[in-house]
Amino acid sequence: MQKVNITVSQNDLPAGVEFESLVAVDTETLGLNPLRDRLCVCQLGDGKGNAWLVQFDGEDYSAPNLRKVLEDDTLTKMFHYARFDIAVLKHYMGVQVNPIYCTKIASKLTRTYTDRHGLKALVEEIVGVNLDKGQQTSDWSAPVLSEAQKHYAASDVLYLHEMKEWLDERLRVLGRVEMSQRCFDFLPTRAELDLKGWENSDIFAHNS
């Protein structure tokens, strides 16, 4: 069992926290509409069992230390379903997150033998850990996070590094590395389309 160290801070990442070349990122919100449901928590993981949970009060999103990490173009930010998270971060913090890696896109490009591309399914298959998703719909705006919420939020970033290694090898074997990178590069534009009202439209489709 991986030893987990969880640090919770208010409105910003603690000073002095540094990552190497890759950081796992996730968000917790009050719902699935970035324009309506505010950003409550942004969590980061280093792939070594450490998770940082930045809890926002809903008023102060300046977060200079977190902003520095998210906008560092030498540091790859890894998400599961990046499309939603980067839209939320752009709307509330005004940050343009880049470069990006999305394990959900990588899964869809490699695990074509299944339609189960949620984080729980991937972690179970690749890492062998059964995630408890019971806190997914809890109140993330609570002034104090429960222990269950803390562990749930941390679990969303603890395993992405290990998953990426597996997915990268599959992408290489299948000859889809360049295709995946082009998908990742398009994500900021896809998120902007979502925020501008095209979230349910495929602008490339003939009839939509």
Average pLDDT over residues 51-73: 98
Q: What share of the chain is helix, strand, coil (3-state, %, to 5)?
A: 40, 15, 45
Q: Distance between CA 192 and CA 96 in Å, rounded?
A: 10
Give the SS3 label for residue 65.
helix
Task: Give pLDDT, residue 33.
Answer: 95
Q: Distance between CA 37 and CA 40 in Å, rounded?
A: 9
Tokens standing for residue 40: 């409550």
**Domain ranges, ordered by start, for the chain:** 5-198
Q: Which CATH class is domain 5-198?
A: alpha beta
pLDDT category of residue 208 using cuts at 50, 70 and 90: low
Region of 92 (left: φ > 0; alpha: ψ -120 to 50; beta: rest) is alpha
pLDDT digits (tens, 9 = 90+) for 134-151: 677 789 999 999 999 999
pTM over 0.85: yes
